[in-house]
Structure 1
Amino acid sequence: MAIVLRYVDKEGFIRERFFDLVHVKETTSSPLKEICDVLSHLCLNVKDIRGQRYDGASNMRGEFKGSQALLLKECPFAYYIHCLAHRLQLTLVAASKEVILIAQFFSYLTIIINLIMSSCKRQDQLRDAQASYIANMIAIEELESGKRKNQIGTLQRARDTRRGSHLTSLCSLLKMFDATCSVIPSMYPRRK
C-alpha cells in the first residue's frame, strides 16, 4: 500500500509527497493501523486528516468495513473521494465502447492476444518467430544491435482499470505484428 500525503503549504500551493510503501498482509483487513503507524512515525496526527482517496477497491472504499469508513470514525473530517485518475480511466473505457469501430477494434485486439497468450505452445511459437524476425532485421541492417536492444517481448493484455494498458497492448502487438501474423495460421491449419 502506498501512502501519499497531499497538503497545502504556507504559500497556499498544493503539494503531494510520497511517504511510504507499506506491506499489508491481508487485503481483506483494514490497513488503518499501518496508516496510523506511518503518520505517527512522521509526527503527524490522524485527527488532522481532511480527505482520503483510494482506487475503488471494495476493501478500501467499503461503506461499513472499508478503510475509508474506519478512518472516518477516527477522524470525521477525512472525507472519501474516489481516485480521480481511476475514475477517468473507467470513463474513457466506457466512452470508447460506445463508438462501434473503436469497440470492435479493441475487441479484435483482445481476441488475438487471448488466442495466442492462452497457450504455452503458441507463446513459444511467438517468441521463436519474433527472435527470427529480429535476427533477420539485424542481418539486413534494418535494426541496430547492442546491449538491451531488440529484446524479445510478449503481447500485453489491455485492462479496463489500468491507465495506459490499452496503449501498451496495442504497442506490444505492433512491435510483434509479423511474429503474431506467422503464429495465427498455425492455429488453424488448412484442411485438404
Structure 2
Amino acid sequence: MHLVMNKYHLLYDMLFFILEVTGEVHERLLAVKESPITSGKKLYDIFVNVMEAENLNWKEELVGQSYDGASNMRGNYYGLQVHIKEESPQALFVWCHSHRLALVVKQAVSCNSNAVDLFGNLETLYVFLWCSKKRAAIFREIQIECDNMEGKYNPLHAVKRVSTTCWSSHAAALHVV
C-alpha cells in the first residue's frame, strides 16, 4: 500500500495485490479523497473507510505500507503508519524510496546554478505562455504551421509546469522544449 499526501491534501489509496499463482504485482487506484485535516488519525479514518467500502480484509492481509517522510504519515507516535500497525501488526512500514531519491535529486540540483537557472526558465516560459490564452493559442498555431511545412502530423505539445515536488514534471517540461 502506498498513500501520498500532496499540497492539495489529496489522499491516494493504492494497494498492491499479489496473485498467488503468478506472483505478479497489480497496482490499482482505489480512491481519491480530499481532506482539509491531514493528521495521522484523520488519514487513518479515511483509509479505513476506503478499505471498508472496497470490502478489503486489510487487517489480516496488508503486509506493507510505504510513505514519504512527513510526520503525519511515518510518525512513530501519531503517524498513519502507527494507527495501521495497531490493527495490522504485520503491515511493515518502509520509507518510500522514490520520495527519498527525490529529496537527494532536489538537493543535488539546487547546488548546480545552471540547473536552477534551467528549471527557473522553464517555469517562467510556462507562466508566460499559459497565463495568456492568446499566447497559448499562438503557441499551438505555430506548432500546427511547423507540422504543415514539414508535411507531417505530430501531437500538439503544451509547455509543462515545473513542480518542485514531482521530478517527472521536470522531465516532461524538458521534453516539450
Q: TM-score, normalised by structure 2?
A: 0.68
Residue in 1 that maps onto 2:175: 171
Deviation at 1:171, TM superposition (A): 1.9
- 1:27-82 superposed Cα distances (whole Å, 9 cap, x missing partner): 6322231354267x35x451453421124555533544442121022133423222
Q: Report the counterpart of residue 154 of structure 1 in structure 2.
A: 158
Number of residue pairs aligned between Structure 1 and Structure 2 = 160
2:123 partner SS: helix
Judging changes above 3 Å, is the alpha-carbon distance between structure 1 residues 150 and 77 closer, same or farther for their aligned structure 2 residues?
A: closer
Q: 1:2 to 1:75 in 2, by over 3 A?
A: closer
Counterpart Cα distance in 2 of 1:25 and 1:100:
37
1:161 to 1:95, Cα distance in 2 relative to 1, 3 A: same
Separation in 1 of the partners of 2:80 and 2:142? 51
Whole-angstrom distance in 2 between the partners of 1:133 and 1:19: 36
Q: Say whether residues 1:16 and 2:20 are aligned partners.
A: no
Between the aligned partners of 2:32 and 2:147, the Cα distance in structure 1 is 45
Match of 2:84 in 1: 71
Q: 1:132 to 1:108 in 2, by over 3 A?
A: closer
Unmatched 5+ stretches in structure 2: 1-11
Q: CA deviation at 1:93?
A: 2.1
Gaps of 5+ in 1: 175-192
Preserved contact between residue 51 and residue 81 of structure 1 (Cα < 8 Å) = yes
Given that 1:20 and 1:38 are in contact with CA atoms closer than 8 Å, whether structure 2 keeps it comes out as no
Which protein has the larger Cα radius of gyration, Structure 1 or Structure 2?
1
State the one-letter code of the partner of 1:99.
N
Q: Distance in 2 between matches of 1:90 and 1:164?
A: 13
With structure 1 as the length reference, what TM-score do the two structures score? 0.64
Assess if the C-alpha contact under 8 Å between 2:129 and 2:139 holds in 1. Answer: no
Contact 2:126 2:161 in 1 (8 A): yes
Match among 31, 46, 49 for residue 34 of structure 1: 49
Q: 1:143 to 1:49 in 2, by over 3 A?
A: same
**Percent identity among equivalent residues?**
21
For the Cα contact (< 8 Å) 1:90–1:160, is it kept in 2?
no
Opposite residue 106 of structure 2, the aligned amino acid is: V
SS in 2 for 1:165: helix
2:62 touches 2:91 (CA, 8 Å); kept in 1?
Answer: yes
State the partner residue of 1:177: none
